[in-house]
Structure 1
Amino acid sequence: MQRWKNIIFNVTLALNILLFFLFIFDSRLHVPPWLQVVGRMHTMFLHFPIVMLALCIFWELFSGYKKSYVGVKAEIGDELLLAAAITSVITALMGLFLSREDGYTADLLVWHKWGGVFISFLSLGWYVFRVKVRQIKPALLTTALAAMVMIIVTGHLGAGITHGQDFLLAPVIAEKQKPVVLFEDAEVYTNMVQPILEAKCISCHNSEKAKGQLIMETKEMLLKGGKDGKLWDSTQNDFGLLMQRIHLPPQSKKHMPPQGKPQLTEEEAQILYYWIKSGASFTTKVAALPQKDTLRLLASPLFQTIETDDYTFAPADEKKINALNNNYRVVKPLAIGSPALGVEFFSIEKFKADQLKELLNVKDQIVSLNLDKMPVADEDLKTINQFANLRKLNLSFTNITGATLGELTKLKELKLLSLSGTKIKASNLAPLVKLPKLTHLFIWSTAIAPEEINKLQREFKTATIETGFRGDTVVIKLNPPVIQNEEQVISQPVPLQLKHYVKGVTIRYTTDGSDPDSIHSPVYDENVMLDKKEIIKAKAFKPGWISSDIVEKIFYKAGVVPDSVQLVNAPDPQYKGEGGLTVHDGKIGSLNFRDGMWLGYRVQPMEALFYFNKEVKVSSVTISSIVDINSYLMPPQEIEVWGGKDKASLHLLKRMQPEQPLKEKPAYLTGYDVNFNSSEIKILKLILKPLPKLPVWHRAKGDKAWIFVDEVFLN
């Protein structure tokens, strides 16, 4: 045994001499490929010296001091120290070889190397002078403490190189506790793209460890790219290097993130794809994106809004809320289960200042207050400033002059303030700079001059000043009408509710899915009723203005309700909705197909059986679905409807092939109508077959398509 100890000690001593020599001439060191393999074993081998040194510290300090055990203690301690010394120097040499690879260039790496070399020398020195160290208790404590501190510090620096700075302490560092960002304030890059890069990319592409000479910590470095070129190019079919690497097979050497690292989710990959496709802007706000923009839809589940934010104050007494509601004032919760209240006034003639004071009964719960076009006076702001939790205040086209705007500085939570169409002056706005959370100030249609607005924008450093459009010679495009009907499933006739906020606008609409025009399409009035499945498209027109974009919504008629539904083929586990209940619960899913309201099928067809306790007469089936071409969600290849009195007597009622898209387009909701001769049935079978291959023009041509269903209506 002693012979082997001598051999190991001599090897350890020789390796430490080699380590010292290589460390001194580190800048001239060239590592051949076979040694690079040895170097890459550093991360696997480094646990041995850590464990050995930890055992040495424990054994030397806490193994006992009875004289009868001194010999045994010394022998075991010697072996542990020697094991720590040999593993430390081997690990340090491996790390030195690894450090010569590309990407390890920062100061953090230098200190990590110094730490590894120090631990190796300390371990060897401790073994050489072990007898004297044991005899002097302060020396033993100092040596053990130095070893423990160096293990922690060097390990922390190594973790920083591999996983990014402050990896160890990140969960408890206050700076890492990012504030909650609401949808209204979120930016596409800062709040959607950058968190993905930080979580999945920066551990290998940072200023401490720049693999491929690529650093992804700043906008400037992202635009610069790495040794293989720029990260993206929106003019290329595949949008460049970043998207190429993401979509390589996981086993590919160039796939990013590499195997063993956390991989991008489907949602994260889509966010990067659509961000690059839209031009990779670093400043675009989510709320500024079009309503049907895919990035905006992907953002919806990621952020709270003012209406759906998590409020901690207690809800108001329901009796108080009911007492405040009348024909001219509505007080209601902003979201289901939320204590936050929104207040709207409707009648100019009936408005009185006392009606604001009555709201003080629920002042802590009011988050949104809409006084648009009401005869609110300057002195009324003394009442409004008592709503301490107010986030959104609309004073547009009121009678305020701005003389008492300083009263609003007490609203420390205020985020959105609209003073459009009032008599305010630029000087009146100065006190509002003190509002700590103000993000949007609307002052369009006021007498404030453009040069004054520029000055104000410099003063309001955290708030965006919205001024609307200025210019008398340019034709302006109308914004789309608003379809106010919330319920899309109609059980009885209801009036169609269309609205536009610009006076003098004519709204024209269609119910057959065609686009409305300014001549042939009917003009909307309040007598239009919805009583069957209809695709409402509406458009706003006004002389001297560019007509608006089309707004669209599908309404379904709730017909015969089955007594039970059996899904013969189970949906994909990711998109299983609520099982069979999903297709007859009266709820229409959104364009966000991950909202838990959809049934998704890809490998096998959707096959469902609808059971009725009594015979029913059915002549049509309508299937509510979604098409999202970029996410591989396509119309079914074929739909079959079967019916009969029992399973044995089922016969084909109708077979149809929905029209397939011929090019890429934004995601949209749709419904498939299958009409057939009226039949009396007790069982109906529905089969939807997904496309076996995506079309040749699709970027994933040849791959399997998805079909999504959320509601089936029988009439």
Structure 2
Amino acid sequence: MDQITEVSDWVIFIGRFHPLIVHLPIGIILVGISMYFLAKKKKFSQLKGAVPFLMGAGAVSAILSCVFGYMLSFQGGYDAEALNSHQWMGVALAVFAVLAFVFMVWEKTKRIVVLQSGLMVFLLVGLGYTGHMGGNLSHGASYLTQYSPDPLRKLVGLPPKPEKRPPVTVLDSADIFLDVVSPMLSDYCVSCHNPGKSKGDLVLSSYDRIIKGGENGQGVVIGDLKESELYRRVSLPEHHDDFMPPDGKKPLSGEQIKLLELWIMNGAPEKGQMGDFQIEGDYLSAANKVLGLEGHGGNSLARKVEPADSLIVASLNAKGYVIRTISEGSYLLDVSFVAQKNLENVSIEQLLPLKDQIVYLNLNNRNLGDKDLEVIGQFENMVRLNIHSNPITDEGLSFLAKLENLEVLNLYGTQIGDNGLERLELLQKLNRIYLWNTQVTPEKVENLKAKYPDLEINIGEEAS
């Protein structure tokens, strides 16, 4: 409900006690109902005298709860239809609580006794339903059903639970939105920014609404942190009036904010694996920490190795290789070949002294043959290998079967076919492979997808 009328801060201040006050009628009336029905048994008949007092106290607290709730509604940010239903159900509950008290005091005829029982049943059902609607307003319509098991969901006509995303064990295979951005917003922001409670007309429970933003501006402006209202709010100093989340709620960590920055500056994609981005320095450290991969045995990029020989690195740089560490404080290397100078003096064997340090290797368009793959097969810490547009064949791929840490393999524009792919099936960590413009048949691709549903096979676009 969006209120246009300006109200005193006192009204909002008092209204915010509604969540506290509302628990009084719930507890008191529930105890009163329990005693009422227990008192019908001779064993508990002594409880009957307390019921009128409890119903009277419950009626008073229900009226107060309605008043406080009405004041709170002026705060705005609630779905108008849901708020209206909750308000009127709360009023009805207060009225029937008063009637229950009156009929408990004025017990003249058997008809009154029947009405008492009917009112008690109504109050019991009404408390549950009104409380449920209030929970939806505060936490979103899916709050109660979010974790309900499928049999119960089917019983009440809800669709099956969305399939859980598998836990991230390898950084490159994590989806930057589905595994990083969406979960952090769900944990820290969605309770106040959902379809049922859209403070500032901002909903953060879906990709489209995150990008759209709310009344204060566009949520995400691709490549522009200053204009991205979502990023601006969470990165302000905590004492700032516009800082989010407000009211002393736990804010996003510095590492989470760094990953939000990484997402926005890389186009804020709706889906895209972390391996698609150049993640270095603070971003890499933040990703490992947020995803719980620090020191994780399955995280190849957390591997500890000795530093590479600086003289060898300098020599290779002079021959056209570009060699850099993947992050500050790490000795793991990202190696590519970009220059064409001294090409006749360059061989893959020259990289062997760095075989323990190399995790990213880009050797596209280098005229590599199958014998070169035999050398690359010794780089056991390799995580990402790009050898597209080289005249390699199925025979050479057998040498890559030793790369147990390989996650991403780009074979675009090579001569490999169905037989070659079978030699890669031993690579347990391989999660993405590029096969555009190769001899691999569509049938083989479909078989692989059926056999390895978590393996992403790209046959339609080139990857760098």
Normalised by the size of structure 1, how large is the TM-score? 0.41
Please give the alpha-carbon distance, in whole angstroms, between the structure 2 residues aligned to 1:294 and 1:103. Answer: 36
Q: Could you say what secondary structure the match of 1:441 adopts? A: strand
Q: Name the residue aligned to 1:180.
A: 166
Please give the alpha-carbon distance, in whole angstroms, between the structure 1 residues aligned to 2:249 and 2:128. Answer: 24
Distance 1:406 1:63, change over 3 A: farther
Q: Could you say what secondary structure the match of 1:170 adopts? A: coil
Q: Which has the higher strand share?
A: 1
Q: Name the residue aligned to 1:212.
A: 200
Q: What amino acid is aligned across from residue 231 of structure 1 in structure 2?
A: G
Residue 246, structure 1, aligned to residue 234, structure 2: yes
Q: Name the residue aligned to 2:37.
A: 61
Distance 1:237 1:165, change over 3 A: closer
Please give the alpha-carbon distance, in whole angstroms, between the structure 2 residues aligned to 1:238 and 1:91. Answer: 42
Deviations 1:291-322 (A, max 9, x none): 4264344223416699828xxxxxxxxxxxxx
Please give the alpha-carbon distance, in whole angstroms, between the structure 2 residues aligned to 1:236 and 1:418. Answer: 31
Q: What amino acid is aligned across from residue 439 of structure 1 in structure 2?
A: L
Please give the alpha-carbon distance, in whole angstroms, between the structure 2 residues aligned to 1:291 and 1:65. Answer: 71
Aligned equivalent of 2:283, options 261, 284, 295 = 295
Q: What amino acid is aligned across from residue 140 of structure 2 in structure 1?
A: G
Please give the alpha-carbon distance, in whole angstroms, between the structure 2 residues aligned to 1:150 and 1:142. Answer: 12
Q: What amino acid is aligned across from residue 31 of structure 2 in structure 1?
A: L
Question: How many angstroms does 1:224 deviate by?
Answer: 2.6
Residue 437, structure 1, aligned to residue 453, structure 2: yes
Q: Name the residue aligned to 1:223.
A: 211
Distance 1:402 1:279, change over 3 A: closer
Q: Name the residue aligned to 1:39.
A: 15
Question: How many angstroms does 1:78 deviate by?
Answer: 0.8
Q: What amino acid is aligned across from residue 200 of structure 1 in structure 2?
A: Y
> What are the residue-to-residue correspondences of 1:189-338 with 2, within 5 Å?
189-232=177-220, 238=226, 240-292=228-280, 294-301=282-289, 302=291, 308=298
Assess if the C-alpha contact under 8 Å between 2:59 and 2:97 holds in 1. Answer: yes
Please give the alpha-carbon distance, in whole angstroms, between the structure 2 residues aligned to 1:391 and 1:106. Answer: 52
Please give the alpha-carbon distance, in whole angstroms, between the structure 1 residues aligned to 2:4 and 2:437. Answer: 72
Please give the alpha-carbon distance, in whole angstroms, between the structure 1 residues aligned to 2:415 and 2:213. Answer: 55
Distance 1:393 1:213, change over 3 A: closer
Residue 77, structure 1, aligned to residue 51, structure 2: yes
Assess if the C-alpha contact under 8 Å between 2:3 and 2:74 holds in 1. Answer: no
Q: Name the residue aligned to 1:117.
A: 91
Assess if the C-alpha contact under 8 Å between 2:192 and 2:199 holds in 1. Answer: yes
Question: How many angstroms does 1:171 deviate by?
Answer: 4.0
How many residue pairs get matched? 353
Question: How many angstroms does 1:244 deviate by?
Answer: 3.9
Q: What amino acid is aligned across from residue 114 of structure 1 in structure 2?
A: W
Question: How many angstroms does 1:132 deviate by?
Answer: 6.8
Distance 1:308 1:177, change over 3 A: same
Assess if the C-alpha contact under 8 Å between 2:194 and 2:204 holds in 1. Answer: yes
Query: Highest CA radius of gyration, 1 or 2?
Result: 1
Q: Name the residue aligned to 1:159.
A: 135
Q: Which runs of 5+ in 2 are unaligned?
A: 151-160, 300-369, 375-391
Query: Which is worse superposed, 80-89 or 278-287?
Result: 278-287
Distance 1:51 1:251, change over 3 A: farther
Please give the alpha-carbon distance, in whole angstroms, between the structure 2 residues aligned to 1:261 and 1:133. Answer: 54
Question: How many angstroms does 1:233 deviate by?
Answer: 5.3
Residue 402, structure 1, aligned to residue 402, structure 2: no
Assess if the C-alpha contact under 8 Å between 2:193 and 2:204 holds in 1. Answer: yes
Q: What amino acid is aligned across from residue 308 of structure 1 in structure 2?
A: G
Assess if the C-alpha contact under 8 Å between 1:84 and 1:123 holds in 2. Answer: yes
Q: Could you say what secondary structure the match of 2:457 adopts? A: strand
Q: Could you say what secondary structure the match of 2:418 adopts? A: coil
Distance 1:283 1:416, change over 3 A: closer
Q: Which has the higher helix share?
A: 2
Please give the alpha-carbon distance, in whole angstroms, between the structure 2 residues aligned to 1:256 and 1:265. Answer: 12
- More RCO (CA 8 Å, sep 6+): 2
Please give the alpha-carbon distance, in whole angstroms, between the structure 2 residues aligned to 1:194 and 1:115. Answer: 34
Distance 1:222 1:116, change over 3 A: same
Please give the alpha-carbon distance, in whole angstroms, between the structure 2 residues aligned to 1:295 and 1:139. Answer: 66
Q: Name the residue aligned to 2:78.
A: 104
Q: CA RMSD in A?
A: 4.7
Deviations 1:439-498 (A, max 9, x none): 3226xxxxxxxxxx55xxxxxxxxxxx6457xxxxxxxxxxxxxxxxxxxxxxxxxxxxx
Question: How many angstroms does 1:173 deviate by?
Answer: 4.7
Q: Name the residue aligned to 2:146.
A: 170
